[in-house]
């Protein structure tokens, strides 16, 4: 029997109560605070406003330029998680970060200034793995250093990959996280797909019309149970299972029956040695797009059978928007906080039931509920689907 992996630290910065602490974030989220509003894109100068959940530069504790936003957020969330875990210097600590676009604002600034690549010029801070390399160097991370980019499942996969490193004995501890910031590049691409809503984000609602972008950075500290118990660390919960499965279907559209996501759920539960009726809560991918929410509902029912109808499900993207690489880690932390507070956050803006989306989506009001086992789901372009299972120790 393999040794268990525990979560001993959490840290994140989101558009809801940024830089104000975890309790403030959780209370606001469970109260249904909506961070999504109409704002202009972060870099290029044009008049159109989009519904987005932004961490305003005016909220930062120190002056930060737009192109430095990602690095500041990731350092802050990383140190929050590390300090929350009270890590010791004799541990072999690794790092795993999920991101979709990396430091994309630096690229956009270069384009605005019409700077081009030339001989001898290498924009190091534009590489996808830059933020991982930066943290490894600055904070003397002495274990594995990994960058994961699997579309919108990146943060979830970063946690799963990190846990596997501990199981394999490659590290005593892994700090796993995700980060992405708002960018004109993402807005332009998703607008072309007609995936961005002009109204409220309404996951699973009959009148849902698309997603809104968000941004943020989030990290969890994963540690072998042996190390956590030895140093008497606070434990938020246990990592029980993880699986990643591809649709093998289309570069952008999800498989309509949720083939890949259903398989990921099934395999994650198999690894956790759990039955569907042992799940107490699901934090859904829940973007608010017509096809994704329908696909996810089908996948949950396919994987869990009749038990799916009794499990409360919520989409925190209804309040936070879709923060790409950060989303999976933020949602994993929401699962852990649900276990520790016995409270499930709501899916806000839910007004009318969709007969095809007929599960319990915790509409509009948070719910008191004992959560011993929680499931976190992510789905991304290219049919990247991932599932995480967390449980009480």
Q: How far apart are CA 292 and CA 299, in angstroms?
A: 10
Tokens 């530069």 correspond to 57
pLDDT tens series, the chain, 393 aa: 577 999 999 999 999 999 999 999 999 999 999 999 998 877 665 678 889 999 999 999 988 888 889 999 999 999 999 999 999 777 789 999 999 988 876 766 666 666 665 555 556 677 788 899 999 999 999 899 999 999 999 999 999 999 999 999 999 899 999 999 988 877 877 777 778 889 999 999 999 999 999 999 999 999 999 999 999 999 999 999 999 998 866 666 677 778 999 999 999 999 999 999 999 999 999 999 999 999 999 999 999 999 999 999 999 999 999 999 999 999 999 999 999 999 999 999 999 999 999 999 999 999 999 999 999 999 987 779 999 999 997
Please pick, among 6, 30, 106, 152, the residue that the annotation labels catalytic.
152
Closest C-alpha among 274, 243, 264, 305 to residue 374: 274
Please pick, among 173, 322, 335, 357, the residue that the annotation labels catalytic.
322
**Residue 359: both structure tokens together:** 């599960």
Alpha helices in 97-205 (DSSP H): 104-112, 130-138, 154-167, 184-192
Residue 354: DSSP 8-state: B
Quote the pLDDT of residue 111.
66
Quote the pLDDT of residue 114.
65
Tokens 């081009």 correspond to 116
Q: How far apart are CA 71 and CA 97, in angstroms?
A: 13
Contacts of 276 (CB under 8 A, 6+ apart): 269, 303, 304, 305, 307, 308
Closest C-alpha among 70, 36, 313, 15 to residue 196: 36
Give φ, ψ of 145 to 5 degrees: -125, 115
**Residue 56: both structure tokens together:** 């305003």
Please pick, among 6, 30, 263, 285, the residue that the annotation labels catalytic.
285
Tokens 């992510």 correspond to 378
Query: At 155, is the secondary structure helix, strand, or coil?
Result: helix
CB 387 within 8 A of CB 377: yes
CB 338 within 8 A of CB 311: no
User: Quick check: is 285 catalytic?
Assistant: yes
β-pair type (93-98, 145-148) = parallel
Instruction: Output the DSSP codes for 282-311.
Output: EE------HHHHHHHHHHHHHHHGGGGGGS
Domains present along the chain, CATH in parentheses: 5-391 (3.40.47.10)
Instruction: For residue 350, give Cα distances in angstroms to 29, 287, 365.
Output: 15, 13, 10
Quote the pLDDT of residue 85.
97
Going through 134-293 in order, the beta strands assigned E by DSSP cover: 145-148, 173-180, 216-224, 237-246, 281-283
């Amino acid at each position: 029997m393999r040794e268990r992996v525990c979560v001993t630290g959490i840290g994140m910065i989101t558009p809801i109560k940024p830089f104000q602490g975890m309790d403030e974030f959780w209370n606001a989220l469970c109260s249904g605070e909506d961070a999504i509003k109409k704002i202009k894109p972060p870099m290029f100068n044009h008049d159109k406003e989009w519904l987005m959940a932004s961490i305003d530069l005016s909220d930062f504790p120190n002056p930060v330029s737009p192109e430095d936003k990602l690095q500041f957020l990731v350092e802050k969330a990383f140190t929050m998680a590390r300090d929350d875990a009270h890590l010791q210097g004799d541990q072999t600590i690794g790092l795993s970060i999920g991101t979709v676009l990396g430091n994309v604002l630096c690229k956009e600034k270069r384009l605005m200034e019409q700077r081009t690549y030339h001989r001898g010029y290498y924009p190091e801070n534009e590489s996808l793995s830059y933020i991982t390399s930066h943290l490894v160097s600055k904070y003397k991370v002495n274990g594995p250093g990994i960058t994961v980019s699997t579309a919108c499942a990146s943060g979830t996969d970063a946690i799963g990959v990190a846990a596997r490193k501990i199981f394999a004995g490659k590290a005593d501890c892994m700090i796993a996280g995700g980060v992405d910031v708002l960018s004109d590049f993402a807005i332009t691409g998703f607008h072309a797909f007609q995936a961005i809503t002009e109204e409220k984000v309404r996951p699973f609602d009959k009148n849902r019309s698309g997603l809104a972008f968000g941004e943020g950075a989030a990290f969890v500290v994963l540690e072998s149970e042996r190390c956590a118990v030895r140093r008497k660390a606070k434990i938020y919960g246990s990592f029980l299972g993880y699986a990643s499965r591809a649709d093998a279907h289309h570069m952008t559209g999800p498989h309509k029956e949720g083939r890949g996501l259903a398989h990921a759920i099934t395999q994650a539960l198999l690894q956790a040695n759990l039955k569907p009726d042992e799940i107490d809560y699901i934090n859904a991918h829940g973007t608010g797009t017509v096809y994704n929410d329908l696909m996810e509902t089908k996948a949950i029912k396919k994987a869990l059978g009749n038990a799916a109808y009794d499990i409360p499900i919520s989409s925190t993207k209804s309040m936070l928007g879709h923060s790409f690489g950060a989303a999976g880690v933020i949602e994993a932390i929401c699962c852990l906080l649900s276990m520790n507070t016995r409270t499930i956050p709501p899916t806000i803006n839910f007004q009318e039931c969709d007969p095809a989306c007929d599960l319990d989506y915790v509409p509009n009001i948070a719910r008191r509920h004992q959560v011993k086992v929680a499931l976190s789901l992510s789905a991304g372009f290219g049919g990247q689907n991932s599932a995480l299972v967390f449980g009480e120790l």
